[in-house]
Amino acid sequence: MAQTNKENKDNKNSNEEFNWNRVFKIVLGWSAILIGFFLIMIYTKGGESKSTEITFDQYQKLLTEKKIESATIKKSDNNYEFAGKLRNPEMLTVGGRQVNIDRFTLYLPYTNVDDSVIKAWNENIATYNIERDDGGWIGPVLNALPWILIIAFWIILMRRMQNGGSGGTKGIFSFGKSKAKMMTGSQMKITFADVAGADEAKQELSEIIEFLKSPGKFQKLGGKIPRGVLLLGPPGTGKTLLARAVAGEAGVPFFSISGADFVEMFVGVGASRVRDLFDQGKKNAPCIIFIDEIDAVGRHRGAGLGGGHDEREQTLNQLLIEMDGFEQNSGVIIIAATNRPDILDPALLRPGRFDRQVVVDRPDVKGREGILKVHTRRIPLSKDIKLDVLAKGTPGFSGADLANLVNEAALLAARRNSDSVTMRDLEDAKDKVMMGTERKSLIISEREKRTTSYHETGHVLVAKYTPEADPVHKVTIIPRGRALGVTTYLPMDEKHTYSKEYLEAMITYAMGGRAAEKLVFNEYTTGASNDIERSTSIARKMVCEFGMSEKLGPITYGNKQEEVFLGKELHEHKNYSETTQILIDDEIKKIVNAGMDRAMRILTEHIDELHRLSEVLLEREILDSDEIDKVIRGETLPPVEKNGDANNGQQAKESKETAKASETVIPES
């Protein structure tokens, strides 16, 4: 019975769909054969005899001297073509040169052949015949050729206007068809082995794969196939890669489309494309439909001022119906990805449409190490590579960031004509990705360079003598990006919550640069602008959000401003009085000033170390944690060459999040 149904389905499809591709190929093939045959016939006919065209005077002389053996006279509309053969070859002047000919042609200047001409031919030519030249079968064919071309052009145009058949090019009337790209198992080579740093997400999605492979295992216990999986996470965390890996592991057809592909200038096109997409999915079930950036069509309905039933809402309504309508889409699983789950319509997020929401967050240190191993599999690495150290020094990096880091390292190694990628290449690439390219051409005065050196040294010493601070990893006064100098820190472990003491320590070592400038030069510069901005932001959050102020207590002050396009708050409403505002400002000022005073005390107690460390930094331009400890202990460092390669060759293990807290920013003009 199943075989019969399949045969009926195939017969139905074959009857409903006309194979335009086959018709076009047949017509094109026969046309090419006929045209080739015509060309061969013309060439053959033209090459039957090689005659030389002579003048009428030469013709008259040959005729009177009875040198013409035979002739063929073809009568056209207004003239006669005379083609003759000589009894013996003759030397004649043709085109200014002597030519030995045995055949000749010319057009006789007669509109009509009278009796005298016939008499001359009878007397002087052995044999001749007169025939009317009607062009034979070539003439009608050439006359019909323009019509043949017009008909062929019309057929091609109509074919382009139609759907184009299976696998054909979409025509001008196919804008209502889905633009989804279908990939089969042979085309998808990405598996879970190519995905790292998202173990929880892979475990969630592995159940989807198992259901697609053996649905009976779950259905016999009453389980239903999940209709949709929503992948949530920041950009670059591997949501699209996970969806492709699911399709590759399951071995089922995979339809990929972007949310923006549904929207068109014509009304109703988005809804039509949604219907066509699900129709294709039903025909190829079981399958996976992946909608990337679903927030393009799945935004909250009625958002904005006035709302409105626009084209995007029609598309969303059709998507909701297809995902959970009266007709169940058995065997079709929807996987969508977005980095803006807050703006999605609630009807789209409910169970029955997207049964599971999988968070694909930024990887931790183990996840980053796994991602680095994946991206370095096809790259020749030297023996000094330590991916665990590199992973520890890249907190906050996404999978895309790490892939970019590895690629930059490979480019640097190739630029240096190296046979393999070394740890130096990876560290330099990390510096470039996190802080920007070195600006070696930037001209800095000695005084400004000295000020920058003391500024960065102030960060280093304050962080060294603050127990709650992160360990200092590297300090440099080489300009990178918008920073004249950078002090970076290497967190000991991944932090998800922050204590009051840790936040106060961050403010303290952030103000260390400003304190060093005040202590040594008795002046303030614009170099501490970013430090002040970050310190103030941390202090404000401590008071208004984290409840870390004893005077104000554990109360949240101020509402977060909602997005306008969500149709919620247009303005920020203060839920506190003017008196409370004064208290908030006082508490913020108190916390920042306390950090500044603490930094001043530390630097005053270790002023000799400040001078010594600053002088060494001026000389070497870059110091790592071991060199910093040696200088603080009073040890002498070995001499190094002061060039770009020597400085770049030192390993860098800075933290992206904490680097911003200590960078010296060039003021914008």
**Which sequence positions are flagged as catalytic?**
456
Phi, psi of 237 (to 5 degrees): -90, -5
Tokens 């009926």: give the residue.
8
Query: At CA 232, angle to CA 227 and CA 234, rounded to 5?
Result: 160
- Residue 264's closest CA among 308, 299, 305, 296? 296
Give Rg (Cα) of the chain.
Answer: 43
CA pair distance 473, 550, nearest whole angstrom: 34
CA pair distance 288, 245, nearest whole angstrom: 11
User: What 3 state SS string does 37-103 have?
Assistant: HHHHHHHHHHCCCCCEECCHHHHHHHHHCCCEEEEEEEECCCCEEEEEEEEEEEEEEECCEEEEEEE
User: What 3 state SS string does 510-548 have?
Assistant: HCHHHHHHHHHHCCCCHHHHHHHHHHHHHHHHHHHCCCC
Between the alpha carbon of residue 377 and those of residues 248, 372, 380, the distances in Å are 20, 9, 8
Residue 624 forms beta bridges with which residues? 474
Cis peptide before 215 (omega within 30 of 0): no
CA 125 to chain centre: 83
| Cβ proximity of 299 and 344 under 8 Å | yes
Between the alpha carbon of residue 511 and those of residues 479, 515, 584, the distances in Å are 20, 6, 21
| Cβ proximity of 232 and 267 under 8 Å | no
Residue 230 forms beta bridges with which residues? 336, 357
Structure tokens that stand for 598 in this block:
């603490």
| Max CA separation in the chain (angstroms) | 139
3-state DSSP assignment of residue 420: coil
Position 90: which residue type?
A: E
| Cβ proximity of 165 and 20 under 8 Å | yes
211-219's contacts with Cβ under 8 Å and 24+ in sequence apart are 212/250, 212/252, 212/286, 212/288, 212/333, 213/250, 213/251, 215/286, 215/331
Between the alpha carbon of residue 664 and those of residues 456, 470, 523, 638, the distances in Å are 8, 19, 16, 28
CA pair distance 442, 202, nearest whole angstrom: 48
Between the alpha carbon of residue 226 and those of residues 324, 354, 360, the distances in Å are 11, 8, 19
CA 270 to chain centre: 23
| Cβ proximity of 334 and 323 under 8 Å | yes
Position 624: which residue type?
A: D
CA 352 to chain centre: 32
Phi, psi of 514 (to 5 degrees): -65, -40
Residue 169 forms beta bridges with which residues? none
* Helix (H), strand (E) at residue 402: helix 399-415
